[in-house]
Amino acid sequence: MIDSARLLVLKAAYMMDTVGNKGAKSEIAMIKVLAPVMAQQIIDWSIQAHGGGGVSDDFAVAQLWAHNRTLRIADGPDEVHRNAIAKIELSKYASLHGETLDMPVTRS
Ligand SMILES: Cc1cc2nc3c(=O)[nH]c(=O)nc-3n(C[C@H](O)[C@H](O)[C@H](O)COP(=O)(O)OP(=O)(O)OC[C@H]3O[C@@H](n4cnc5c(N)ncnc54)[C@H](O)[C@@H]3O)c2cc1C
Distance, in Å, from the CA atom of 7 to the CA atom of 15, rounded to the nearest integer, reads: 12
Model confidence over 71-84: pLDDT tens digits? 999 999 999 999 99
Distance 105 CA to ligand 1 centre (A): 13
Give the pLDDT band of residue 96 (cuts 50, 70, 90). confident
Q: How many CA atoms lie within 13 A of 92 on its CB side?
A: 6
In this prediction the pTM is 0.86
34, 105, 32: which is closest to 75 by C-alpha? 32
Distance 32 CA to ligand 1 centre (A): 13
| CB 106 near ligand 1, within 6 Å | no
Distance 86 CA to ligand 1 centre (A): 19
In CATH terms, the superfamily for domain 33-97 is Butyryl-CoA Dehydrogenase, subunit A, domain 3 (1.20.140.10)
